[in-house]
Amino acid sequence: MLNFNLIAAVCENSGIGLNGDLPWSLKSEYEYFTQTTKRRCDITKHNVVIMGRLTYLSIPEHERPLADRINVVLSATLSPTDLPTNVLLFPNLESAMKRLEQRDLRERIENVWIVGGSGVYREAMSSPRCHRLYITNIKHKFNCDIFFPKIPNSFKEIGPDPETPLGVQQENGVQYEYKIYQK
């Protein structure tokens, strides 16, 4: 079975989005997201980012699909012709994972990352495949219309990995801290 990790930035009121965008502008936090979801030990393999339709559409068009990663979009309403040919489309997380576990793809994959949105995060955290949660705790309340689901009690905070910045970070007057939880 292929495991996956989840990565999200979450503010104090559990918000993760507003009007199809991030409610904050934290360049260093975005760079952490990019570096973390691209990082791999075997350069012959690739990382996968799995996201819902709205998350994919919230990425600025000139940055879609996310570079240097296999992009997977979950949607019951899009058709393959709605996406670039190098983006994989599945109706749900389970069907995507079953395809990624097939030998022709599995041998080329190092890490799988769940990158949003709210419904995909909820489904992912309840899956036995979910290994770790990489959460940026933003120490500020933002006006949001999309929220991160409650983290199940089966996840416990662990120490940071060697690439995770330690302690409270600050940018644009906003403090945040990186946390890792493991099932």
Q: Which of 6, 26, 29, 93 is catalytic?
A: 29
SS3 content of the chain, % helix, strand, coil (to 5): 25, 35, 45
Tell me the pTM. Answer: 0.95
pLDDT tens, N- to C-terminus, the chain (183 residues): 899 999 999 999 999 999 999 999 999 999 999 999 999 999 999 999 999 999 999 999 999 999 999 999 999 999 999 999 999 999 999 999 999 999 999 999 999 999 999 999 999 999 999 999 999 999 999 999 999 999 999 999 998 888 899 999 999 999 999 999 999
pLDDT at 160: 85
Q: Which of 6, 22, 26, 100 is catalytic?
A: 22
CATH code at 4-182: 3.40.430.10
> Is residue 22 annotated as part of the catalytic site, yes or no?
yes
d(CA 55, CA 141): 21
Q: Where are the domains of the chain?
A: 4-182
